[in-house]
Structure 1
Amino acid sequence: MKKGLLILSIAALGFAACNGGFKKGASGLLYKIHEDVEGDSIKEGDFISLNIIAKTDGDSVLYNSYEMDRASQTFVPKPMYDGDLFTAVMKLTKGDSATIKVDIDSAEKKGQPRPQGIKGKYIIYTVKIEDVIKKDTTKEQEFQSKIEAFFKAEGDRAKKAETPKLDKYIKDNSLKAQKYPSGLQVATLTEGTGVQPKPGDSVMVNYTGKLVSGKVFDTSLPEVAKKNNIYNPGREPYTTLNLVIGQGNVIPGFDEGVLKMKKGGKSVLLIPSSLAYGEQGMQGGMIGPFTPLVFEIELVNVVPGKGVATPVSPEAPKK
């Protein structure tokens, strides 16, 4: 069936006409449905997969699942108040897309804390409902089995897509990469002239970690962190990563890649998930299952022998 987020009055229709096609909902909610697919509306307890972009009305991006290179999944909660994001989501169906503007002032009046550092009137969500698994309290085991099957299918797709994604990144960035038996690929940007590290040597490296979408998720460089809106003042001072290499202190692809460099060199490491976070991904992080990674590395220094390195940063690409 076709849906409307609300039964609109004549006045509300007039409001929509002068607001770029947006319709008005409770507590200052504004919405516009771009694709309206027939089907049953989402309900509390359903499992959904959606792509979502969240912005301020000043156009600052707060979150973008497309940059994460995977959709987000959640069980649909009971709306915290009439007019929040899920009030709107629960009027959509699989295949729908919409823009939803949540009024921050109204949310605050309803007891929701105002997001820190966000100015303006709205948080604007652009959503695309990719999949819905309907909750059935009489068939709980079947419901859970469908969710398990969903994640297995997603994992299979992600695994098959790894090599094409890395190949595309190499082509799009005009890299010349050497592939090793492990699956690691290394593109040398600057050939180092110093010593090549061996397992057990201490190394100092500058690094920037990316997804193949280009999204930066970690770096040792403060200017890169600020440029990509991931700067964390609590991490100061940003500095080179110092560690004993080849000892499993970082993900295998990082270890192997640095061991193939020379002091003073710069390389791009193209790391398949088997040498990164594998089929589990990084718990609580943005790196999902079967996610290939890209690291830009500068090998600043090499100290032979098993010297004591500065402790690995908690932000470093740990194993």
Structure 2
Amino acid sequence: MRRKNFLLFSISFLLFAVACDRIVDDPIGDEMARLQAWLQVNKITTTPTASGLYFIDIKDGNGLAPKDSNYVVLSYEVRDLDGNLYETTNKDVAKLYDIFAATKHYVPSYTQYLSKVSVLKGLVEALSMMKEGGKARLIMPSKLAYGAGASGIPSYKTLIYDVELKKIVADPKAYEKDSISRYLSHHPGYTSFNDSLYYKKTVEGTRQCIVANDSVVQVYYVGRFLDGFVFDTNIDTVALKNNIYSTSKTYETLNFTVGSDSYAPGFNLAVKKMIEGEWATFVIPSFNMYGAEGQSSGTTPIPPYATLIFDIKLVKVDPK
């Protein structure tokens, strides 16, 4: 009897070990089995592409298809098979699913379309099948998405992308220039400095002085996008009003040496146009800020070719 029990225990242990081995060593197999079950339950009969992407056309676009190196404007929502929402460009949807972040700029994404990429291959493939104005649902196995995982996305997770290709931009510099022109037409009173920046004084200065390279200055600032969204400030009341206050940040004057590489050329140029005690607003094109690369670091990422607005107070100048 003891021998029989030992034999049953050994078989059970072996089956458990095999099952555990499958869980550990075959996460992709488990993912695909779950995906197939989900497709069957939800009666999805779409034939996948050769790569494994399920492309469901929701609305045909009537514009052009994207070409390599074009920039695309996309609205999207990203869920898993259980309906958990991970990303969205829609602020109201983010609030509904309790993933809203005050530091996130909820607008359609603006990114370069490249057919040869190592991540989100499923999205790139889908865009090649769409035209401007089109909408589609994409069911992307993890090999076409984030694979073993990315920030906020669990490993080997099949994702559902609901995406709208809102616009294709062939010339991002011309597109930015047009955006600046539209903004200035609705916000008159700016003076242009060789199109390097646009300047409007809002409070007169109190002391005439020359701000030059190597001058040490103290400034307060508020950084905004063209739609008014505040992405950065060193003024505590502004941070609190816009729900971006951080206890890890010191809300004091920014002290820096004008002309240093620590700050973007446009910010340096703006301060050099001011006198002590003055408040002014500057519209600064991307070529004088973060250019075609944008800036991914910081609380709120800066997209490529982003024109930025800075409200600046020049508190003090040490000419050196």
TM range (shorter): 0.5 to 0.7
Kindly provide the amino acid, as one letter, of the partner of residue 295 in structure 1: F
Match of 1:276 among 258, 283, 289: 289
Deviations 1:82-113 (A, max 9, x none): xx964982793333622548799xx9xx9646
> Secondary structure of the residue that 1:206 maps to in structure 2?
strand
Match of 1:75 among 111, 115, 122: 115
8 Å contact 1:48–1:75 — kept in the other structure? Answer: no
Corresponding residue of 1:142: none
Corresponding residue of 1:53: 75
Mapped partners of 1:272, 1:79: distance in 2: 30
Mapped partners of 1:38, 1:258: distance in 2: 43
Q: Is residue 2:232 matched to residue 1:207? A: no
How does the TM-score come out when normalised to structure 1?
0.54
Structure 1 residues 240 and 33, CA gap change in structure 2 (3 angstroms): farther
Structure 1 residues 277 and 205, CA gap change in structure 2 (3 angstroms): same
8 Å contact 2:197–2:285 — kept in the other structure? Answer: yes
Corresponding residue of 1:4: none
Mapped partners of 2:41, 2:250: distance in 1: 54
Structure 1 residues 65 and 267, CA gap change in structure 2 (3 angstroms): same
**Superposed, which structure 2 residues align to 1:34-53 within 5 Å?**
34-35=59-60, 50-53=72-75
Mapped partners of 1:267, 1:33: distance in 2: 47
Shift of 1:254: 1.9
> Secondary structure of the residue that 1:253 maps to in structure 2?
helix
**Superposed, which structure 2 residues align to 1:93-108 within 5 Å?**
93-95=130-132, 97-98=134-135, 100=137
Structure 1 residues 258 and 123, CA gap change in structure 2 (3 angstroms): farther
Mapped partners of 2:252, 2:302: distance in 1: 23
Mapped partners of 1:230, 1:95: distance in 2: 34
Shift of 1:37: 6.3
Q: Is residue 2:253 matched to residue 1:243? A: no
Mapped partners of 1:224, 1:67: distance in 2: 25
Q: Is residue 2:179 matched to residue 1:157? A: no
8 Å contact 1:50–1:72 — kept in the other structure? Answer: yes
What residue ranges of structure 2 are gaps of 5+ in the alignment?
Answer: 1-38, 49-53, 79-84, 86-91, 95-99, 154-158
Deviations 1:138-168 (A, max 9, x none): xxxxxxxxxxxx9xx524534xx51x43232
Corresponding residue of 2:316: 302
8 Å contact 1:187–1:267 — kept in the other structure? Answer: yes
Structure 1 residues 96 and 276, CA gap change in structure 2 (3 angstroms): closer
**Superposed, which structure 2 residues align to 1:175-186 within 5 Å?**
175-181=188-194, 183-186=196-199
Percentage of pairs with the same residue: 21
**Superposed, which structure 2 residues align to 1:71-220 within 5 Å?**
71-75=111-115, 86=123, 89=126, 92-95=129-132, 97-98=134-135, 100=137, 112=149, 115=152, 125-128=162-165, 154-155=171-172, 157-158=174-175, 161-162=176-177, 164-172=178-186, 174-181=187-194, 183-199=196-212, 200-220=214-234
Mapped partners of 1:90, 1:53: distance in 2: 12
Shift of 1:187: 0.8
Q: Is residue 2:320 matched to residue 1:286? A: no
Structure 1 residues 86 and 185, CA gap change in structure 2 (3 angstroms): closer
